[in-house]
Amino acid sequence: MRCYRFELGRSGYLELEGRYASGTPVNDANTATSPAYFVTDARIGASDLRLGRVVVAPFLGVNNLFDTRYNTSVVVNAFGGRFYEPGPGRALYVGAQVRLAVASEPEARLQ
């Protein structure tokens, strides 16, 4: 797994993560294999946006950015050739971390 983080301006960021898995034999005879795959995830967000005493860190992400077809796991020697358990497709998520600033933090400001 490889993860890259790029800073965007004063408080923004972009994160890219890539996961690679090589082909995996799924039976003892090595006559069937789950293919290799590479999956990319992305996340963009901001940190420490201040609104008075409230500190907000919103983010938006996409898992399996390129909607890659892959197997998340295999059942070795499964009956009837049902070795493969497919991975999820593209998924979008959004969220935010919200907290109150403590008195010792610098004066709150909107960045």
The pLDDT tens digits of the residues spanning 54-74 come to 999 999 999 999 999 999 988
Q: What is the pTM of this model?
A: 0.79
Q: Would you state the pLDDT for residue 106?
A: 58
CA atoms within 13 A on the CB side of 1: 5
Domain definitions of the chain by residue range: 2-100
Per-residue pLDDT of 11-47, as tens digits, reads 999 999 999 999 999 999 999 999 999 999 999 999 9
The residue ranking higher by pLDDT, 29 or 106, is 29
Query: Is residue 107's pLDDT more than 80?
Result: no
Instruction: Measure the CA angle with vertex 24, ends 18 and 27; round to 5°.
Output: 160
